[in-house]
Amino acid sequence: MTTPWQRVPSDLAAAMRPRLPTAVRAIAEAVAEANPGSAETAGEKFNRDVRTAVQVALERFVDLAGTGEPALPPPIREVFVALGAAEARENRGPEFLLGALRTAARLLLRAASQSLAESRPVTVDEIIDLSDATSAFVDELASACTDGLARQLREQAGEGDRRRRRAADLLLRGGAPADVAREAVTAIGWPALDRVVPVLLPADQARDARFRFAADGVVAERARDAVLLLRSGPRAERPALAEALAGRAAVVGPSLPWSEAPEAVRLAERAAELIGTGPEPVFVEDHFAALALRGEPGALAALSSRRLSALDGLRPGQREQLLTTLQSWLRHWGSRAAVAAELFVHPQTVSYRLNRLRDLLGPDLDDPTARFELLLVLTQRRN
């Protein structure tokens, strides 16, 4: 099979070789000028790599003139594969490489044509053959560069997957030292190690969850299901999850500190057993009371945190006083006289404390579900 460079005049090598240093410098400078952002960011190494690549490419093109050899023997091809890989490591896509190669192709054709023209007359057919040869040769260079870029991206993706699996395993297993866990999540781009929201999903949705929540979650695949662990943030809020998980038979566990992720997953598992799954996601926080009544200490602790967190900033004695008053008020169905008699305080004192509780707890005191959960938490607190 005839190669495009086989039709190139064989005397091109003799005409062009003395001009190679000038051509290399001109093409390297043109490539750098066409991509000033990359040159300024990468500095001297960028310029050195460009000069090396241009030198190797031009010397090879000159050697190919009039031959039927393959464009790039393995050692030369690896130079351009490495160049593409380096671009991927710098988080640059193929646009720079392809633009640089277009610039190089244009200038290579000009340099080759001028070299021949300075040694003898050049025909139109020879110019056309030179054009075909430079285009085909640069296409081979582009193929090698994009191959290197693709290889590096696959390698980086594999390393990223490994890091994400490690982070998921550490969080799911629990017990990891804080510095180890922090290092693991930093390696996958999480800005901090804070609270985690687990989501149980059918096993066949693991891949989709990994794609949809790539920046905010890690996925652990298990025999019977998949566990998505989401870092705290807007995408882990209930409204966002209700929309994103619609129709996916999901069970959303409670938001707990990262060190309690195994407990959060266990509560999601227990809720799945108790409630089952359906088209709409099940939120464990809606079923804390049911789980607590079935002896789940984690559910009781989560429910307590949810209902009483507004009192966390009080002094211990003041907090205890208000909780005692609240429990009595709930048991006596809001009778201030009964509360005052039970606690041996003046009814006005009860009124003052209840006003303070209303400031802290807001509408929870008028919500039947919230009142039941408050009474459950306070009753268990005494036991």
- Asked if residue 100 is part of any domain, the answer here is yes
- Asked if residue 170 is part of any domain, the answer here is no
Residue 173 pLDDT: 93
pLDDT tens sequence across 69-119? 999 998 899 889 888 888 887 777 777 788 888 888 899 999 999 999 998
Which residues pair with residue 282 across a beta bridge?
Answer: 251
Residue 353 pLDDT: 94
- Asked if residue 168 is part of any domain, the answer here is no
- Asked if residue 17 is part of any domain, the answer here is yes
Share of the chain above pLDDT 90, in %: 58
383 confidence band (pLDDT: 50, 70, 90): low
Rounded CA-CA distance 137/139 in Å is 5
Tokens 């640059």, residue located = 92
Contact 268, 198 (CB under 8 A): yes
Task: Look at residue 38 and tell me whether its pLDDT is greater than 80.
Answer: no
Q: Are residues 93 and 132 in the same domain?
A: yes
- Asked if residue 302 is part of any domain, the answer here is no
Rounded CA-CA distance 104/127 in Å is 17
Two structure tokens written together for 155: 């390698």
Q: Are residues 153 and 9 in the same domain?
A: yes
Per the structure, the complete domain to which residue 153 belongs is given by 4-157
pLDDT tens sequence across 105-150? 899 999 999 999 998 899 999 999 999 999 999 999 999 999 888 8
Residue 346 pLDDT: 92
Q: Are residues 128 and 32 in the same domain?
A: yes
Q: Are residues 351 and 239 in the same domain?
A: no
- Asked if residue 306 is part of any domain, the answer here is no
Helices (H), the chain: 12-16, 20-34, 36-42, 44-64, 74-89, 94-119, 124-173, 178-186, 206-212, 238-244, 261-275, 288-293, 297-308, 316-331, 336-343, 347-361, 368-382
Residue 37 pLDDT: 56
Q: Are residues 204 and 153 in the same domain?
A: no
pLDDT tens sequence across 262-316? 999 999 999 999 888 888 999 999 999 999 998 888 888 889 988 999 999 999 9
Residue 157 pLDDT: 74
- Asked if residue 209 is part of any domain, the answer here is yes
The residue with greater pLDDT, 368 or 39, is: 368
User: CATH number, domain at 235?
Assistant: 3.30.70
Task: Look at residue 39 and tell me whether its pLDDT is greater than 60.
Answer: no
Residue 382 pLDDT: 63
Rounded CA-CA distance 59/18 in Å is 11
Task: Look at residue 169 and tell me whether its pLDDT is greater than 90.
Answer: yes
Last residue of a domain, one of 294, 326, 354: 294
pLDDT tens sequence across 319-347? 999 999 999 999 998 899 999 999 999 99
Last residue of a domain, one of 259, 294, 329: 294
Residue 177 pLDDT: 93
49 confidence band (pLDDT: 50, 70, 90): confident
Contact 199, 228 (CB under 8 A): yes
pLDDT tens sequence across 171-180? 999 999 999 9
Q: Are residues 136 and 238 in the same domain?
A: no
Of 80, 189, 184, 220, the C-alpha closest to 137 is 80
- Asked if residue 317 is part of any domain, the answer here is yes
For residue 133, which phi and psi values (nearest 5 degrees)?
-65, -45
Task: Look at residue 43 and tell me whether its pLDDT is greater than 70.
Answer: no
